[in-house]
Amino acid sequence: MGLPEMDFDAVLKKCGNFGRFQLLIFLCFGLTNLLSSMHYFAQTIISFTPEHWCYHEKLANSSFDEIRAVYAQTENPRCTLLDDIVDGKPIVAEVGKCRQWIYEYERGYKSVTSDLNWVCEESIQSAIGQSVFFVGSVIGTVFFGYLADKIGRLPALILTTLTGAMGDFLTTFATNLPIYALFRFLSGLSTDTFYYLMYIMVFEYLSPRKRTLGLNMATGIFYFIGLAMAPWFALWSGSWRGYLYIASVPAVLVLLYPFVICESAQWLVATQRYDRAVKCLKHVAKINRREVKEEVFDEFIAYYKQKAADQLVQKKTKDTFWGMFRTPRLRKFTIMMLIKNMFLALALDVISRNMEGMGSSPFILFSATSIVYVLGSVTIILLQNRIGRKGMAFSTLFVSAIIIAATGFLIAFYDTNENALLLAIMVGLGRYGVVVSYEAEAQYSSEFIPTTVRARGMANIHVVGFAFTSLNSYVIYLGYLYKPLPSIFMALLMFIASILCLSLPETMNQKLPQTLKDGEEFARHQRWYNFICFDKNRNIKEVEAKNAS
């Protein structure tokens, strides 16, 4: 007689999978979301560039309106060096460039670009620093992901969080590009990794029925709070250095995590640390005030020991992520998924960071439009299971492309100051569409990738997306050449991504692939125009017929 299937989910249910322990881990997840949002977009907050003009001694005591009126007569108001000013008319210098500037600080806030004079010809330096940040994120995702598999999720989570905070803190001492780039690289090492590891911890200790609602709402609400408050923290602090102190110092609170939550029990089981896994589950039961018999844990250990022994006997050939490129259909789908994720990751960053020159305060615009993270989570909860994964991906990408293109048109042909409210609405709508697309992509990818390579596949897709995101500062820099260019470029990428969706299979109501062989045959009956929202009944019947056979 075989052992009873006392697997992890069965034991967790007895210990409590939606109780006081889950509330504690949700609070930790909320703090991680706050830290993650303030850390990830710190580069944007510290780089907002105030309106500026070349310094001239005759303008030293002039009002900003007077200065603006003088430079409005030049071809490039922000970066034109003047020889003289006669009766309010500027005399442009034939040689030389600006060495000193007049800044109109918003509420006295000094950004890194104004503090280090990275404007005009030197504005590329801020973009270089930001790109190095994302180079660090690629390396950090691989390194800390590997570390989490070796030493555990919780210690890796603490190390990556403190690494990012240290990078932010040390950045405050930078006075030149090399030092600034070095510390931004260090800061980037933890980008998204500490959020991702905490997400896994919550996912594993939570009831399957509560995961979609709980994880999306927690992420939406706490991430939104962090983003919405970040610009106000910056303005309150008065400088980019002050903001980085606020964003980095609270990270030391993660040192309290081991006293509140415990290591991933599933990771402990996977690495055959059964006694520690039982200790964690007993801790969960104690916090949730559940009485669990010792026999349950004995059966739990015996079940996984037997399972490990069976796997050694079977000696199955292991699937690998690179195996997804060996067969034609799976290779096509994988490449399309990678490209789509690259475009989405870049779009999310560019749209979220490109807040300057829209006719209103970039601080207020960034803060106000951050509400889309809450609205995006609600949208996914309400629509993801109604219109399908493919329908959700295609519609949000396509509509976002139209909105972003329209925003570029407004910037090109209308006065941004006179149409500030309209532009703010368009920016918010564009950001909303991209957020929904990006958040929905995670579930779509996880369902499409075969079970045997799902973790590695998701990690690799994530890394590729981050690598492409390192270009975001250069895309935004295109705005210095022609302001609508970033919007036009991103609209084109979003449109291409939406077209790629048409060739991808619908995963909703389908028996998901377990192996690479299953992945090659997955959804072979589907056509490019197959959308479950238009033909829902037929898809359900097909699935039921397959399951019955």
Average pLDDT over residues 348-363: 88
Looking at per-residue pLDDT, the higher value among 103 and 131 belongs to: 103
- Residue 370, token pair as written in the block: 């951050």
Return the pLDDT at 452: 66
Average pLDDT over residues 32-60: 92
Task: Please state, in angstroms and as integers, the Cα–Cα distance from residue 3 to each residue in 51, 301, 302, following that order.
Answer: 71, 11, 8
Does residue 424 carry a pLDDT above 80? Answer: yes
Q: Do 244 and 177 belong to one domain?
A: yes
| Residues written for the chain | 549
- Residue 325, token pair as written in the block: 């490129």
How many domains does the chain fold into?
3
Q: Do 27 and 55 belong to one domain?
A: no
- Tracing tokens 């006075």 back to the chain, one arrives at 175
Last residue of a domain, one of 37, 71, 104: 104
Q: Do 387 and 457 belong to one domain?
A: yes
Q: Do 242 and 167 belong to one domain?
A: yes
Q: Where are the alpha helices (DSSP H) in 172-318?
A: 177-188, 193-205, 208-237, 240-248, 257-260, 265-270, 274-287, 294-314
Q: Do 132 and 95 belong to one domain?
A: no
Supply the mean pLDDT for the chain. 86
Q: Do 95 and 219 belong to one domain?
A: no
Return the pLDDT at 1: 40
User: What are phi and psi for residue 53, nearest 5 degrees?
Assistant: -145, 155
- Rounded CA-CA distance 217/201 in Å is 16
Last residue of a domain, one of 60, 86, 104: 104
Average pLDDT over residues 103-121: 93
Average pLDDT over residues 255-279: 90
Q: Do 270 and 342 belong to one domain?
A: no
Average pLDDT over residues 12-39: 93
The DSSP secondary-structure symbol of 2 reads P
- Rounded CA-CA distance 18/447 in Å is 24
445-464 pLDDT tens trace: 777 777 667 656 776 777 78
198 within 8 A of 32, measured Cβ to Cβ = yes
Average pLDDT over residues 470-480: 83
Return the pLDDT at 546: 44
Does residue 316 carry a pLDDT above 60? Answer: no
Task: Please state, in angstroms and as integers, the Cα–Cα distance from residue 276 to each residue in 190, 297, 416, 499, following that order.
Answer: 27, 11, 60, 48
Q: Do 91 and 110 belong to one domain?
A: no
Does residue 536 carry a pLDDT above 70? Answer: no
Q: Is 353 strand, coil or helix? A: helix
Q: Do 498 and 420 belong to one domain?
A: yes
- Rounded CA-CA distance 158/174 in Å is 25
Q: Do 455 and 412 belong to one domain?
A: yes
Non-local (6+) Cβ contacts of 463 within 8 A are 138, 141, 142
Q: Do 400 and 534 belong to one domain?
A: yes
Does residue 52 carry a pLDDT above 90? Answer: yes
pTM, rounded to two decimals = 0.82
341-351 pLDDT tens trace: 899 989 988 99
User: What are phi and psi for residue 382, nearest 5 degrees?
Assistant: -80, -35
Q: Which residues pair with 91 in a beta bridge?
A: 84
Average pLDDT over residues 282-299: 93
How many Å separate Cα 306 from the centre of its chain? 40
303 within 8 A of 5, measured Cβ to Cβ = yes
Q: Do 98 and 109 belong to one domain?
A: no
Q: Which residues pair with 239 in a beta bridge?
A: 110
pLDDT above 70 coverage of the chain, percent? 91
Give the model's confidence band at 547: pLDDT under 50 very low, under 70 low, under 90 confident, else very high: very low
CATH number of the domain within which 155 lies? 1.20.1250.20
Return the pLDDT at 2: 45
Domain that holds residue 227: 1-50+105-316
Angle at 403 between CA 402 and CA 406, to 5 degrees: 85
Return the pLDDT at 545: 40
